[in-house]
Structure 1
Amino acid sequence: MAKLKITLVKSTNKLKEAQAATVKALGLKKIGSCVEQQDNPQIRGMIKKVEHVLSVEEI
C-alpha cells in the first residue's frame, strides 16, 4: 500500500480545538515536523480537515 509524507508547514495556534487535535493525532508537533502514514481513507479524511496547514507528498 502507498504511503504519504505529511509535513506541518503552518502554526496550529489559531486552529479550532478539533483541528489541533487532528494535527496531533496525525503525529505532528512542531512546524517542519514530518511523519509517514499509510494512504487510507481515514488518514485522507484527517488530512482534508486540516489541509491548509499541511504539505502532503505521496511516496
Structure 2
Amino acid sequence: MTDKQMMKVTLVRGLGGRLATHQACVRGLGLRRMHQVVEVEDTPATRGMVNKVSYMVKVVEETPDAPQ
C-alpha cells in the first residue's frame, strides 16, 4: 500500500478585495477563515492552486513515517 504525500496549508491573509479566481482557489483548497489549517493531498492540481495564491497561504510539506 502506498502512502500519499500530504501537505498542510494555512490561510495567512484575508480574502477581501482579492480576485475571484484567487478566492476560488482558496475555497477549493478547503480554507474558509484566517489561520485555518487543512491537510490536502500533494498533487499537481493542488500544487497549482497553492502556487496561484502563494502570497496568501503558508505550506508545510509532510513526509510519511518510515515503517519500523
Give the CA RMSD over aligned residues: 0.6
Larger Rg: 2
1:23 corresponds to which of 21, 26, 34: 26
**Higher RCO (C-alpha under 8 Å, 6+ residues apart):** 1
Structure holding more helix per residue: 1
> What percent identity do the matched residue pairs reach?
34
- The unaligned stretches of length 5 or more in structure 2 are 63-68
**Number of matched residues?**
59
**TM, length-normalised to structure 1:** 0.95
Unaligned 5+ residue runs, structure 1?
A: none
Q: What TM-score comes out, normalization by structure 2 length?
A: 0.83
Q: Please list every run of at least 4 consecutive aligned residues from structure 1 whose deviation after the TM superposition is greater than 6 angstroms.
A: none
